[in-house]
Every structure is written in C-alpha cells, then in structure tokens.
Amino acid sequence: MKRHVSISLRLTMWFGVMFFLGWVLFGTAMWLNLSRTLRGERHQTLARRVDRLQELLLKNESEDEKGRYQDFNDFAHATGNGLAEILRSDGTRAYPSPSVAAAAFPWPSVTEGGPEKFVHVQSAGQTYWALVRPFSINGKPLFLLVAAPESGNLLVLQSFWKGLLASVPIVLFISSAAGYWVSLRALAPVDKITATARSISIRNLSDRLPVTDTGDELQRLAETCNAMLERLESAVNQIKRFTADASHELRGPLSFARTVSEIALRNPEVDARSRKAFEDIVDEATKASVLLEEMLTLARADSATFSGVLGPVDLAGVVNEACESVRPLADARGLSLVVFCSLEEATVMGDSSSLRRMIWVLLDNALKYTDSPGRIEVSLDESVSRAILTIRDTGIGIAPKDMPHIFDRFYRADPSRSQVDGTGLGLAIAKWIAEIHHADLSVTSEECYGSAFTVSFPLHAA
C-alpha cells in the first residue's frame, strides 16, 4: 500500500538535503582554499629562505670557500633544521651537507638551465616541499635547494576535516529543524483553509475560506475556492427555492383532488369502477401530501430555518407519549412494544413536537421492517450527563453496504425494503431533528437480526 508523506515532512527533508549539500560544497571549497593557502605560505617561506641564503652568499662572494661554507652551514642550521643543499649543475654537492638529514634527503634532480621549481618529495614516510633555484657565484652555475616538512599543513587540514565531519549531526539537526519550522509557517494558511473547507456543508455554504493579503499562490487559491463556493451557494439556493416553491404549489392541487375524490365517494350513485378509481386517487393524494410535507421539512433543514423554539422538555414524557400513540399500530401488526425508562424525568433543551416527530419516525421505521411476531424495545437511560434513547427491533436489519447511506435522502437500496411503503425521507428528517437538538443519532444493525437506533441528548441542568 502506498504511503502518503505530508508536504511539511517532504519540505523538511528537501530543506535538510539541500542545506546539507550546500554545507558539503561550502566545506569542500573551504578545504581546498585552506589547502591552497597553506601550500602558498609554505612556498613563500621556502622562497624567502632561499632569498636570504642567496643574499648571504653574494654578500660574502669575496670570501674563500671555507668561509663561504661556514656561512652556509650556519644558515642551514639556523633555518630549516639543516635541510639545505648547494649543488653543481651535474648534481654533485658544491659544499658538504650541513646535516645528516640533508645528506639522506632525496633531493630532486637539477638540470642546467632549468627554471626555479617547487617539488613534492616523500622522505621517511613524510611529505616535504623542496625549492630548487638556479644560482651563480663567481661565474659558476649552482643550484640552491631548501626543503621543509608539510606535516604542519597536513595537521591543520586534518583538524579542519575532522571538524567538518563532527559538525554533520549538528548541521543535519539545525537544517531539519529549520526546514520543519519553515514548512509549518508556510503551510499554516493551508491548515486554516483545510479546516474551514471541512466545516463547510450544504447548511453553511455562506461561510468562506480565510484570505490573507499576501499576494501569493495561497491567496489566489483561497479566492478561487471562495468564488467556487459562491457559485455553489447560488446554485443550491436556486434548488432549495425550487423544491420549496414546487412543494408549496403542489399542495393546493393535491388537496383539491383529494377533496373532490372524497366528495365523490360520498355519492351513493357512483358505480363500483369509479368508486375504486376515487379511492386510489385519495390514497395516492395522501401519499403525495406526506411526501410534499417531508420535502418541505427538508427544504427548511437545508435553509437552516427552524420555526420551533428550544426550551426545557421532559424527554421521558415525550418518549412515553410517542410509544403510547404507536402501541395500537404495534398490536395490530402482532408486535410487542416494550418501554424501559430508568429516568423518571430527563430534561433536555428541545421542541416537543419535533422530538415527538423524530421518535415517531424511528418507531415507524421499526414497525415497517419488523415481521410478526417481533419485538420493539424502547429504552431511556442516563450516561455521563447525557440522555440515551435507544429504539431496538428484531426486524430484517440493514446490510453492511447500506449502513453508510442509511440517513441519505430517498436511499432505499435493499429490495426487501423497497417493498415497504415509504418516501425514503424519514431517517433524513430524524437526523436533521437530532442535529438541531445538538444530539447524536447513530445506528447499529445486524442483517436478519434487527437494528438499534441510538440518540444521545445533552441533559439540561435546571
């Protein structure tokens, strides 16, 4: 299964990787620059040493060879730990080596007429820089050679490299934390837009997404979504007005047809075929009137208009009244209606007529889908400052595939349910009534074993 990674996590990872790569490039550039600088300083030190040796030899050009060698020997020991040589063009020493180290040192070869050069030399497991400079004294071509170890430079470079490696965890932590903080700041408007968009439904289409005056892509996204919501609100309002107007306008003709048919049925001279036709008209007109009334109720629900007044209502009394009014129908169908009410009084904020209608819808649903001999249980209990109303039946139950849509309008997918008279709007109306009373309506069901509708009301403190 594909795992979805949040944008904030991706931004954190990208920011950390890019910051780390930038740090690697910066560290590499700094290391190369430090290496070049140290090498240049070493070359400059060797060049200055040869300059001083050259000045010393030229200053004492009139001295004999013994005095000149003594000056060279003293200079070699005073600078560079004796690592200096003066060679002839054939590679032989013009003077004896000033030290054992100089005698054993692998000096680079010299060529007459060759240019001044710096040479990398390995000796005794160490790296040295050697400078070879052509020189002449009293018309004799010579070569001045001096050397110095590179170990100091290598130690500095090694320390710098270790410092870079040691800073890797710190750099990764700082870059990841900075990336996460930046992503949270950047995506905070997205979270607000998402939360607001999730809260918008058909009952609050007038709400709009928050728009920040930043001039960026998020502002354009919020403005585009608000424009879309405005178009949706306009279209939904037109549908609501059409549904309400059509339902209202159809009530008159239906009432007229029903009244005319009932008057015709009172005429004893009506023949049997006509009487049957008038009876069918009365039945269908009655069903259509119920449907129109329920459509008007849902139209008011969509427009968030509720004409009732919420006040303290004894829910236990409403439940008992509704059950007593339904009991004759249950007896006629051969069903057992049992009421368990552990609360003598359960006060909730509500409208008694609306609550009675919701309970009637749930009881009527249980009556329709429970065969004789069946049982319907109505219980009212208290749990954590809430009144819990449960209506349980032993009917045909609800298929698992139909459970997510049981409160949808006109949803009657089960073939056995389609054979029962009804409009498919009752449970949608019950859901709406529960919502305006700040109650939770839920259902549990097992196919062929019955269903249980539960309404949880917040109790009203006196």
Query: Looking at residue 440, what is its pLDDT?
Result: 93
Tens of pLDDT along 100-142?
A: 888 888 888 888 777 888 988 888 888 888 889 998 887 788 8
Place 389 in a pLDDT band, splitting at 50, 70 and 90: very high
Average pLDDT of 418-439? 78
Q: Are 334 and 299 in contact (CB under 8 A)?
A: no
Place 4 in a pLDDT band, splitting at 50, 70 and 90: low
Q: Mark whether 274 and 330 lie in a shared domain.
A: no
Tens of pLDDT along 348-366?
A: 998 888 899 899 999 999 9
CA atoms of 280 and 286, how far apart (whole Å): 10
Average pLDDT, the chain: 82
Query: Looking at residue 413, what is its pLDDT?
Result: 54
- Do the domain assignments include residue 22? yes
Average pLDDT of 63-89? 80
| pLDDT over threshold 80, residue 49 | yes
Query: Looking at residue 60, what is its pLDDT?
Result: 64
- Do the domain assignments include residue 351? yes
Structural domains counted in the chain? 3
Which of 74-83, 121-130, 376-385, 445-454 has the least mean pLDDT? 74-83
Q: What 8-state DSSP symbol labels residue 372?
A: S
Which of 87-91, 168-172, 202-206, 309-313 has the least mean pLDDT? 202-206
**Domain of 154, in residue numbers:** 7-166
Continuous segment of H or E residues that includes residue 444: strand 440-446
- Do the domain assignments include residue 196? no
CA atoms of 447 and 399, how far apart (whole Å): 6
- Do the domain assignments include residue 108? yes
- Do the domain assignments include residue 201? no
Cβ contacts of 257 within 8 Å, gap of 6 or more:
281, 285
pTM of the complete model beyond 0.95:
no
| pLDDT over threshold 50, residue 291 | yes
| pLDDT over threshold 80, residue 247 | no
Average pLDDT of 371-381? 91
- Do the domain assignments include residue 204? no
Place 418 in a pLDDT band, splitting at 50, 70 and 90: very low
Q: Mark whether 278 and 148 lie in a shared domain.
A: no
- Give how far the C-alpha of residue 186 lies from the chain's centroid of Cα atoms, to the nearest Å: 12
- Do the domain assignments include residue 58? yes
Cβ contacts of 327 within 8 Å, gap of 6 or more:
337
Dihedral angle over CA of 427, 445, 377, 366, nearest 10? 40
- Do the domain assignments include residue 70? yes
| pLDDT over threshold 70, residue 282 | yes
Q: Mark whether 285 and 329 lie in a shared domain.
A: no
